[in-house]
């Protein structure tokens, strides 16, 4: 299974948020480059970089991402506020292996379709963030009436082949995964599935592996030493 460390960037620092609340941050590295290089040294095969300020519409950390891109030797994906074809082009031009989009997939699927047409399914990943199975958008601040299973099938029909599912009720809490919810997502999604949101221990990763989930994004658990990344690479 592909275990992907997350480097979430807010105000130029590597942080983790509690349930996605930007006011409840824990700063792990003042310089996100140190975090990225640390996980690269630990053997990570890919990194998940998120511009939280862009996701929340409060600015951007493009200069930080540019520095990371110039320094990393492993593939990385970038999410957070990528809501236009131009923004996706800019991130990929920095050197990202793929872009991660969420809000635009829900609100402007025609833009997602153009991204897929220009970059290909291997370079565009859709992230469905949800409270359980109810999808939320705009930096998790806006609820929708959509369910992950239904929206996932729409994404598949558009040509998406890699899906990230995050349970925002648990993200950053170290509460452990809701594996029954993830079982439903797995049953509904025919492509490559990456899960996150509350991963707290090796037991959570083992649970994902048993469900046939191909990847996991983890943050606080590896930053706080609850999971040894080297065991999973």
Confirm whether 8 is a catalytic residue: yes
Contact call for residues 211 and 193 (beta carbons, < 8 A): no
pLDDT of 139 > 80? The answer is: no
Domain ranges of the chain: 2-228
Rounded distance, CA 3 to CA 166, Å?
Answer: 14
137 - beta bridge partners?
A: 142
Residue 8, helix vs strand vs coil: strand
Residue with tokens 């480097």: 7
Q: Per the structure block, which two tokens stand in for 183?
A: 């079982």
Rounded distance, CA 9 to CA 54, Å?
Answer: 10
Confirm whether 171 is a catalytic residue: no
Q: What backbone torsions phi and psi does residue 166 show, to the nearest 5 degrees?
A: -125, 130
CA-closest candidate to residue 129, choices 143, 111, 117, 113:
143
CA-closest candidate to residue 101, choices 82, 86, 87:
82
Helices assigned H by DSSP within 95-167: 103-107, 109-119, 148-158
Tell me the per-residue pLDDT of 98-116, one tens digit each, with 9 for 90 and over: 999 999 999 999 999 999 9
> Which one from 8, 167, 171, 204 is the annotated catalytic residue?
8
Read off the pLDDT band of 7 (50, 70, 90). very high
Read off the pLDDT band of 20 (50, 70, 90). low
101 - beta bridge partners?
A: 126
> Which one from 21, 51, 53, 129 is the annotated catalytic residue?
129
Quick count: other Cβ atoms within 10 Å of Cβ 199? 30
Tell me the per-residue pLDDT of 181-223, one tens digit each, with 9 for 90 and over: 999 999 999 999 999 999 999 999 999 999 999 999 999 999 9
Rounded distance, CA 180 to CA 163, Å?
Answer: 18
- The third-level CATH classification (topology) of the domain covering 2-228 is TIM Barrel (3.20.20)
pTM for the complete prediction?
A: 0.94
């Amino acid at each position: 299974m592909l275990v992907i460390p997350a480097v979430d960037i807010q105000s130029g620092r590597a942080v983790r948020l509690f349930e996605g609340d930007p006011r409840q941050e824990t700063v792990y590295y003042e310089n996100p480059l140190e975090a990225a290089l640390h996980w690269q040294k630990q053997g990570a095969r890919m990194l998940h970089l998120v511009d939280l300020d862009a996701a929340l519409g409060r600015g951007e950390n493009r200069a930080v991402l540019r520095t990371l891109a110039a320094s990393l030797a492993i593939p990385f994906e970038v999410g957070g506020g990528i809501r236009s074809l131009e923004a996706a082009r800019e991130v990929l031009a920095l050197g990202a292996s793929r872009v991660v989009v969420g809000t635009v997939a829900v609100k402007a699927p025609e833009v997602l379709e153009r991204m897929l047409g220009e970059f290909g399914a291997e370079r565009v990943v859709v992230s469905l963030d949800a409270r359980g199975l109810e999808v939320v958008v705009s930096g998790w601040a806006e609820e929708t009436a959509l369910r992950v299973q239904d929206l996932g099938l729409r994404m598949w029909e558009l040509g998406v082949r890699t899906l990230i599912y995050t349970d925002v009720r648990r993200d950053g809490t170290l509460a452990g995964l809701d594996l029954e919810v993830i079982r439903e997502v797995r049953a509904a999604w025919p492509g490559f599935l990456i899960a996150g949101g509350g991963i707290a221990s090796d037991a959570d990763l083992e649970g994902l592996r048993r469900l046939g989930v191909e990847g996991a994004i983890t943050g606080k658990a590896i930053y706080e030493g609850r999971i040894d990344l080297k065991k999973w690479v």
